[in-house]
Amino acid sequence: MQDRTLTAEVTPGDEITVAGWVHEIRDLGGIAFLILRDRSGKIQIKFEKDEMNDEIVQTGLDVPRESVISITGVADDEPRAPTDVEIVPTAIEVLINTPKIVATGTEGGTELFPITYFGEEAFMNQSPQLFKQLMIGSGLERVFEIGPIFRAEEHNTPRHLNEATSIDFESAFINHAEAMDACEYVVTAAYQGVAENCITELETLGLRDGFSVPDESFPRISYQEAIERINATGELDEQLVWGDDLPTDGERALGADVGSHYFITDWPSEIKPFYIKDHDDDKTLSTGFDMMHPQMELVSGGQREHRYEHLVSGFEQQGLDPEQFDYYTKMFRYGMPPHAGWGLGGERLVMTMLGLENIREAVLFPRDRQRLSP
């Protein structure tokens, strides 16, 4: 929602769009008020029943509290309003509300480290993904985290770790394209920070002269274009077809062809996780994206499926047990805003930024299949 205005920034006379949670509804007969809340504050929405479209009035006054809505209208001065300004709506959209289907689900996969937690089976967390989404639903709107993740993958490569650092971002009221904008900004800012604050360290590593900050937008290449360009390089023994995951050799061939950081977008829905939203106009394509360095993947992200019925359907299509993670899906029954985000591998960022040959050089005490101590 790129054109969304925060409630605290609304100026009388402007025609704007605001979005947030229904904080309160007061129906006084011929006139009614809805208080909308977002991260910056609250604003009053006025419904004059006899002078407005009946559908707008009904939609605005029928939504349950804490529903997530978007309202477009004209802002007016109103000294009696909580913030001295109110909006008269010309359009209102319910972005999720209370659905009628009751079902739950879980994130599947076998790449988990089991542990015993006071006599109960538990696992080391693969990703903060589900918890980020729950915080978005609670009204925080934007969530940032830098923390460890654990994956029981039996890899033995220069770019994989079993304990890694994930730099995570999640935001309400943005789509996958805006999430990519944020991702590009963060990675570029990291390079700028190193260039400005780590001159001595770069000299010690012999990288002062060769270190450069990305100065152009990262190209956005569709999955279809990616497999076509990889096939055209002739680097693979077999041609890739729609639905294939991209092999390491293919990623490197494409990276060499692009020559800079880039995004791969519009992945097939069938090979992206259940929580990634499909495109509205083509259900075979997901809004998932990967951000790539020419050498490897750095980021995985996308717009999340915020509609309860569609989320449950995604669980079922992937054969996931709907009983285990009720804590995750239950919030979607009460109103989840559209949201998007991503996770960035911290060690991979350092590795590619500094041109390291092995990701273990970016970690003080790396953990992999062979190393548990020290």
Strand 289-293 and strand 282-286: the pairing is unpaired
Q: Is 348 a catalytic residue?
A: yes
Residue for token pair 């605001």: 18
Catalytic residue of the set 160, 252, 261, 304: 160
Catalytic residue of the set 176, 252, 261, 348: 348
Catalytic residue of the set 70, 166, 269, 300: 300
Q: Is 160 a catalytic residue?
A: yes
Q: Is 357 a catalytic residue?
A: no
Q: Is 155 a catalytic residue?
A: no
Q: Give one word for 259, left, alpha or beta, with left for phi > 0 and alpha for psi -120 to 50.
A: left
- What token pair was written down for 157? 């490569």
Q: Is 151 a catalytic residue?
A: yes
Task: From 93, 106, 135, 103, select the one nearest 309 (Cα to Cα).
Answer: 103
**DSSP letters for 153-215:** ----STT--SEEEEEEEEEET--HHHHHHHHHHHHHHHHHHHHHH-HHHHHHTT-TTT-----
Q: Is 323 a catalytic residue?
A: no
Catalytic residue of the set 66, 145, 297, 309: 297
Catalytic residue of the set 107, 159, 293, 306: 159
Cα–Cα distance, 366 to 370 (Å, whole number): 10
Catalytic residue of the set 151, 306, 333, 339: 151
Q: Is 26 a catalytic residue?
A: no
- What token pair was written down for 133? 């989404």
Break the chain down into helix, strand, coil percent, rounded to 5: 30, 30, 40
Catalytic residue of the set 153, 178, 235, 309: 153
The C-alpha angle 108, 112, 118, rounded to 5 degrees, equals 110
Residue for token pair 């190393």: 371
Contact between residue 126 and residue 148 where contact means Cβ atoms under 8 Å apart: no
Task: From 127, 203, 192, select the one nearest 165 (Cα to Cα).
Answer: 127
Active site residues: 151, 153, 159-160, 297, 300, 348
